[in-house]
Amino acid sequence: MIGFLLRRLAAGALTLLALLTLSFFLIRAAPGGPFDAERPLEPELRARLEAQYRLDQPLWRQYLAFLADLARGELGPSLQYREYRVAELIREGWPVSLRLGSAALLLAVAAGLGLGVLAAWRRDRLLDRLLMALATLLQALPVFVSAPLLVLLFALTLGWLPAGGYGGGALRHLVLPVTALALPHLAIVARLTRTAMVETLAAEFVRAARARGLSETRILLVHALRPALVPVVAYLGPAAAAVLTGSVVVEQTFGLPGVGRYFVQGALNRDYTLVMGVVLLVGALVILLSLLADLLAAWLDPRIRLR
Amino acid sequence: MSRAFAPSPWQRFRRHRAARGALLVLAALTLFALLAPPLLPLDPHSPDWERISVPPEPAHPFGTDAIGRDLLARTALGLRTTLLVAGSAALLALLVGLPWGLLAGWVGGPVGGLMMRIVDVLQALPFLFLAILLMAVFGRRTELLFAAIGGYVWLDLARIVRAETLSLREREFVLAARALGASTGRILVRHLLPQLAGGALVALGVIVPKVILIESFLSYLGLGIQEPMVSLGGLVHEGAQDMSFAPWALAFPAGFLVALLLALHFLAEGLRDALDPRSPA
């Protein structure tokens, strides 16, 4: 167990380093620099700025300096919003993205599990067929299609909810973005739950529980659900990663001030330090969450060996 | 069961009703993409300043966009671009992933292990983030988009092909071929490759929709295919901006994209059932 954790953490750190290195050189290999977007700067001022941000040094020097800063937990100042440090910008945007993402994941898992259990319980009946057809449709509906459609329906046509903006995190501002982000994952969780439940409902231990005269509800929710959770939990790692990237689209569509927006704008503005900050955050999260999902799956199903 | 009574993959595929329907939809979509612009007197590029954002009407069956371009022609063009990207990226994935997996599985040992470690590391990277970075940084070049997407999706294929090669290479027919004096190259190409085709086809069924999603995702963010070319994702992006007064500009491209993805989903399901009968339906 400890060995597994250490190995996975070491592999994760290596992956993160590879990701950061790749991003570092990729964004610096791009034509243009952070000080090109505005009106032309006076050469002296430009040289001073570049010296201040170490952009006049050779690439390998910049890279080593970046690694040294990173080791001290220092991400440096943003090159675009020069009065802010990258850490400050991320600290500002992160709660928005976190709130959006965790609410979407929670909704996807809760509703997906519920609908999946329902479909497995009414297996091959009309309700099951309808739910699974709906799941197929939702799975084929990308976030960037469902988000505008939701706005069109609930904000522009019915006028029930605001079309965009964060509104200080008010619930009515979050309903549409969270739903858009959750829908495809909700569909997949429902399908996974149904398949696994149908399988476990046919297993010996469920028949034994039936023979002991336990109620159908108890069999469904206690005996059959726990092993059926394993594939759902295994899906959570990749799902969390997808929610993180999906929130780039959702933040853009609804105009939310999260870190996803910083990423696209940062890359377009050649804000080297800001982009590296977001890459670090997202990369670390994706790696940690997939580790967490593996641990959770092993805890749910003791037959799984951690290697 | 005797071999003669087992249905062939093709027979199993034809019995799959959803897959048959999906194939028809795909054929119709492809025909539409290829034939609509040359056959209809509609132009996806030139604006008609008299007819800006008009709802569907006989002259413009899908309506027009915010600068008066015909949306039927633009949807057909976008669909063609999307199909082209999906096809080329899938081809690239096949060209890289198939030999990579085949070699890694055949050679095995430390070299094969190393080849798969490379796949593992690449797969652990949050690819969409790198793709956003790549496109934002290098200014949306179409060939770069092909390369980036193809360079990612071959990983799945390599993994599947390697797993199958590992089990195939131990089978008697390989030993028999070797005993008859066949060279390694001949065994790989003439004996193993045909056996791998089924698994590779099933993998492609998963890869193609993935490619379409990635491409439309990037185009939606304004980072994919660039004007005057346009893909379905780009059209959805344009439509979403005008949807308050011209919802048809969103509805038609979005509808075609979802229809395409659904058809591919059912096709992949049919392929899996036909070619890999052991997997649960």
- The gap from C-alpha B195 to its chain's centroid, in whole angstroms, comes to 22
Nearest Cα to A192, choosing from A238, A223, A158?
A: A238
Chain A residue numbers with beta carbons less than 8 Å from the beta carbon of B254 are: 145, 148-149
Query: Rounded distance, CA B119 to CA B152, Å?
Result: 10
Nearest Cα to B140, choosing from B230, B34, B71?
A: B230
Convert the pLDDT of each residue in A259-269 to its tens digit.
887 887 787 77
Query: Rounded distance, CA A204 to CA A216, Å?
Result: 15
Q: Are the beta carbons of B125 and A195 separated by less than 8 Å?
A: no
Q: Which long-range contacts (CB under 8 A, 24 or more apart) does B51-58 make?
A: B53/B242, B53/B245, B53/B246, B53/B249, B55/B246, B55/B248, B56/B248
Query: Rounded distance, CA A29 to CA B180, Å?
Result: 54
Q: Are the beta carbons of B258 and A152 separated by less than 8 Å?
A: no
Nearest Cα to B276, choosing from B201, B173, B207?
A: B201
In chain A, whose CA is at the least distance from the CA of B261? A140
Chain B residue numbers with beta carbons less than 8 Å from the beta carbon of A195 are: 280
Contacting B with CB below 8 Å, chain A residues are 12, 14-15, 18-19, 22-23, 26-27, 29-31, 136-137, 139-142, 144-145, 147-149, 151-152, 156, 195, 241, 244-245, 248-249, 252-253, 263-264, 267-268, 270, 275, 279, 282-283, 286-287
Contact call for residues A273 and A78 (beta carbons, < 8 A): yes
B18 interface with A at CB cutoff 8 Å: no
Nearest Cα to A251, choosing from A241, A261, A242, A243?
A: A261
Tokens at residue B34, please?
Answer: 């290829």
Mean pLDDT of all residues in B78-92: 88
Size of interface A-B (CB pairs under 8 A): 105
Tell me the three state secondary structure of residue A85.
strand
Q: Are the beta carbons of A144 and B220 separated by less than 8 Å?
A: yes
Convert the pLDDT of each residue in A122-146 to its tens digit.
888 899 889 988 888 888 888 888 8
Work out the pLDDT band at A213, boundaries 50, 70, 90.
confident
Q: Is the pLDDT of residue B59 over 90?
A: no
The angle that helices B127-138 and A272-300 make with each other, rounded to 10 degrees, is 160
How many Å lie between the alpha carbon of B50 and the closest alpha carbon of chain A?
A: 26
Specify the pLDDT at position B218.
Answer: 84
Q: Are the beta carbons of B133 and A18 separated by less than 8 Å?
A: no
Least confident of A101-105, B6-10, B108-112, B172-176: B6-10
The residue of B118, B129, B241 whose CB has the most chain A CBs within 10 angstroms, and thus the best one to mutate to test that interface, is B129
Q: Which residue has the tokens 């390694």?
A: B184
Smallest Cβ distance to B136: which of A264, A279, A287? A264
Nearest Cα to B243, choosing from A96, A43, A131, A253?
A: A253
In chain A, whose CA is at the least distance from the CA of B263? A140
Q: Which residue has the higher pLDDT, A56 or A276?
A: A276
Q: Are the beta carbons of B133 and A27 separated by less than 8 Å?
A: yes
Work out the pLDDT band at B24, boundaries 50, 70, 90.
very high
Give the percent of chain A with pLDDT over 90.
Answer: 9
Q: Give the DSSP letter string of chain B.
A: --GGGSPPHHHHHHH-HHHHHHHHHHHHHHHHHHHHHHHSS--SSS--TTSTTPPSBTTBTT-B-TT--BHHHHHHHHHHHHHHHHHHHHHHHHHHHHHHHHHHHHH-HHHHHHHHHHHHHHHHS-HHHHHHHHHHHHT--HHHHHHHHHHHHHHHHHHHHHHHHHHHTTSHHHHHHHHTT--HHHIIIIIIHHHHHHHHHHHHHHHHHHHHHHHHHHHHTT-SS-TTS--HHHHHHHHHHTTTT-THHHHHHHHHHHHHHHHHHHHHHHHHHHH-TTS--
Convert the pLDDT of each residue in B158-191 to its tens digit.
988 888 888 888 888 888 888 898 888 888 888 8
Specify the pLDDT at position A304.
Answer: 67
Q: Are the beta carbons of B137 and A267 separated by less than 8 Å?
A: yes
The residue of B119, B220, B241, B248 whose CB has the most chain A CBs within 10 angstroms, and thus the best one to mutate to test that interface, is B220
Convert the pLDDT of each residue in A160-196 to its tens digit.
888 777 777 677 888 899 999 999 999 999 999 998 8
Residues in Cβ contact with B172 at an 8 Å cutoff, skipping those fewer than 6 apart: none
Could you report the predicted ipTM of this complex, rounded to two decimals?
0.75
Chain A residue numbers with beta carbons less than 8 Å from the beta carbon of B210 are: none
Tokens at residue A125, please?
Answer: 């009946």
